[in-house]
């Protein structure tokens, strides 16, 4: 009796937090999404499906997000996996902490300032200029989808590196010896043992990055020059510029539904593969 009472008490903060910070705002968004926009913006209570009927007006933004979020996630993985592998397997333990800290250190600065720095790196006086010295002229990076992807990979790299690193770090090195002993070359051992055993870390990293990318707006705004338009940017404009709360809520609710569906499909696939 005492145990279950204490357990319930332990759950109180989390429950209150979830209610106040997640469930309530989500309810407000859902209620607003059936309302109407006031003449001067804001929200007028109503019950109409008009906002949902009009979702196609943000089709391109949804499409861009659903294309760039998986692409960004995949590129992030492509860069993060070798890095995590290097850190977990190849680096002498003496240097590990230092290198891990070096990955975290940029996080001590605001993402805004770091992304702003990329404006200069990718701008005409940055990387394209360096490429110009090497004879590659006329490269445009800033304000292109490529720049947005570079910014995404940079910003989300640690989120991918750490889960993958943890899964590789706890990998029993003797399993690789066993594979080698049974005739696997290092590459085969990686493919047959390391890779499958790091899948949980890869799955976690991809999930983290993908979910956050679905709501991303800062990097496209800064590195895409306003020309790369994610659903996050559409939401910022809807709430802060056109103040169309009802429509913004419908778009936000749809985004949540898309994420839930994508994530649950993904989870099913991953969990099935783990069985």
Partner 1 sequence: MSKKNDQPISRKKFMQELRRYERGSVTRRHFLGVTGLGVATAVMGAAVPGLLPRKSWAATDIGDRVILATWPNYHDPANFEKFTEMTGAHVQVNVFGSNEEMLAKLQAGGSGWDVFVPTNYTITTYVGEDLIEPLELSKINNFEASAFDPRFSDAGTVNGTVYAVPKNWGTTGYVVNTKHTGGKQLTTWKEFWDITKTDFTGRTMVHDYQLTTIGNALKYFGYSFNSVDPNELADAEKLLIEVKPHLYAINSDYQPPLRNGDAWMSMCWTGDGKQLNTDMPEMQYVLGKEGGEIWSDYYAVPKSAPHRDAGYALIDFLLDPAVNAKEVLAHGYPVADSRTNELLPKELLEDPILYPAQELLDALEFGAAATLTDPNRAELLARFKSA
Partner 2 sequence: MLSADTDAVVSFRNVTKRYGDVTAAAHLDLDVTAGEFLSFLGPSGCGKTTSLRMIAGFDQPSEGEVFLEGQRVNGVPAYRRPVNMVFQHYALFPHLNIEENVAYGLKQRAPKPPSKEIEMRVGEMLELVQLSGFNKRRIWEMSGGQQQRVALARALINKPKVLLLDEPLAALDRKLRREMQIELQNLQRNVGITFVLVTHDQEEALSMSDRVCIMREGKIVQIGSPLDLYDRPINRYVADFVGKSNFFDGAIDRIDTTAVNVKLDCGLMIKANTGPDLESFESGDPVCISVRPEQVILARKEEQLPADCGVKIKARVMNRIFLGEHTEYLLRDEKLGEFLVLSPRQNERSERPFDKDEVVLAAWSRDTALVLSSE
Q: Residues in the site for partner 1, rule: CB under 8 A?
A: 37, 39-42, 57-58, 60-61, 64, 112-113, 116-117, 119-120, 123-126, 129-130, 140, 142-143, 217-218, 221-222, 225-227, 229, 233-234, 236-244
Alpha helices in 105-194 (DSSP H): 111-122, 127-133, 145-169, 173-181, 186-189
User: Is residue 196 a contact point for partner 2 (CB under 8 A)?
Assistant: yes
Residues 167-186: x where in contact with partner 2 by CB under 8 A, - otherwise, as a string: -----x-xx-xxxxxxxxx-
Residue 254 binds which entry of partner 2, partner 1, none, CB below 5-8 Å type-dependent: none
Structure token digits, residue 137: 């002229």
Residue 193 binds which entry of partner 2, partner 1, none, CB below 5-8 Å type-dependent: partner 2
**Of 252, 263, 268, 272, the residue nearest 61 (C-alpha):** 252
Cβ neighbours of residue 68 closer than 8 Å, sequence gap 6 or more = 145, 148, 149, 152, 213, 220, 228, 230
User: Is residue 48 a contact point for partner 2 (CB under 8 A)?
Assistant: no
Report the alpha-carbon distance of residue 128 to residue 174 in Å, rounded: 47
Structure token digits, residue 165: 């690193």
Residue 58 binds which entry of partner 1, partner 2, none, CB below 5-8 Å type-dependent: partner 1
Nearer to partner 1, 50 or 169 (CB): 50
In the set 71, 144, 146, 192, which binds partner 2 (CB under 8 A)? 192
Report the alpha-carbon distance of residue 126 to residue 113 in Å, rounded: 17
Contacting positions for partner 2 (CB under 8 A): 172, 174-175, 177-185, 188-189, 192-193, 196-197
């Amino acid at each position: 009796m005492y145990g279950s009472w204490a357990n319930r008490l332990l759950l109180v903060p989390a429950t209150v937090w979830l209610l106040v910070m997640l469930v309530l705002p989500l309810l407000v968004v859902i209620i607003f999404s059936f309302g109407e926009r006031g003449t001067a913006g804001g929200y007028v209570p109503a019950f109409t499906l008009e906002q949902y009927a009009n979702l196609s007006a943000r089709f391109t933004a949804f499409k861009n997000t659903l294309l760039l979020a998986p692409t960004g996630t995949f590129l992030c993985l492509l860069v993060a996996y070798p890095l995590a592998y290097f850190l977990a397997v190849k680096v002498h333990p003496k240097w590990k902490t230092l290198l891990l800290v070096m990955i975290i250190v940029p996080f001590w600065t605001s993402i805004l300032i770091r992304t702003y720095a990329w404006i200069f790196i990718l701008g005409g006086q940055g990387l394209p200029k360096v490429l110009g010295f090497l004879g590659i002229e006329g490269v445009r990076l800033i304000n292109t989808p490529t720049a947005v992807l570079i910014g995404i990979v940079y910003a989300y790299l640690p989120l991918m590196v750490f889960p993958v690193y943890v899964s590789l770090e706890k990998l029993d090195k003797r399993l690789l010896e066993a594979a080698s002993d049974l005739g696997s070359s290092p590459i085969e051992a990686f493919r047959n043992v390391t890779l499958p055993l790091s899948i949980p870390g890869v799955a976690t990293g991809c999930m983290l990055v993908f979910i956050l990318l679905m709501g991303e707006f800062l990097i496209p705004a800064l590195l895409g020059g306003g020309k790369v338009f994610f659903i996050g940017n559409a939401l910022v404009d809807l709430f802060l510029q056109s103040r169309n709360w009802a429509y913004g809520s419908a778009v936000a609710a749809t985004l949540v539904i898309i994420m839930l569906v994508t994530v649950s499909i993904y989870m099913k696939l991953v969990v099935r593969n783990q069985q």
